[in-house]
Amino acid sequence: MTDLRIRVRTARADEAETVLAFWAEAAEGTSITDDADGVGRLIARDPEALILAESGGRLVGSVIAGWDGWRCSLYRLAVLPEFRRRGIGTALLEAAEARFAAVGGRRGDAMVLEANERARLAWAAAGYHREDHWRRWVKPFAENSVTG
């Protein structure tokens, strides 16, 4: 295996479509916000939240490290299949955790699909543990029903 050089950085506003194409290939599941507008709003609201890994100019990994002033939330940890198990996920989580430490975060919460065994193993290997007493409750809002 050749030496893999990666660069970890935050996403730019003009990369929404690139990120969506990457998630279609590397991430499991979709969200109501999986569109260019949703990704663009994330970057506009919190420019440090969407962290990307690239190698040779190619997007190979991502994680969303959301900070709302109280909680540290992790979403969309994904690595292209052919680049997995090469330290990219670890580098992304280190960047996310460094971001959280810098703002005074005290605990990271990760959203993981129940059926995604590979992801559950990766999060456990990174030191995260499952909390079975919590369940996620969601309510999708109808388009344009919530004003900001």
- Quote the tokens at residue 73: 């939330």
Taken in order 29, 32, 35, 41, the sign of the CA dihedral is: negative
pLDDT tens profile 39-77: 999 999 999 999 999 999 999 999 999 999 999 999 999
pLDDT tens profile 72-111: 999 999 999 999 999 999 999 999 999 999 999 999 999 8
Beta-carbon contacts of 8 under 8 Å, excluding residues fewer than 6 positions away, are: 51, 52, 53, 91, 92, 95
What is the model's pLDDT at position 22? 95
Assess whether pLDDT exceeds 60 at residue 2. Answer: no
What is the model's pLDDT at position 144? 55
Phi and psi, residue 51, nearest 5°: -105, 130
Instruction: Give 144 or 45, the one with higher predicted confidence.
Output: 45
What is the model's pLDDT at position 112? 86
Beta-carbon contacts of 88 under 8 Å, excluding residues fewer than 6 positions away, are: 4, 6, 53, 55, 60, 61, 79
pLDDT tens profile 110-141: 988 888 888 898 999 999 999 988 888 888 88
- Residue ranges of domains in the chain, CATH in brackets: 7-125 (3.40.630.30)
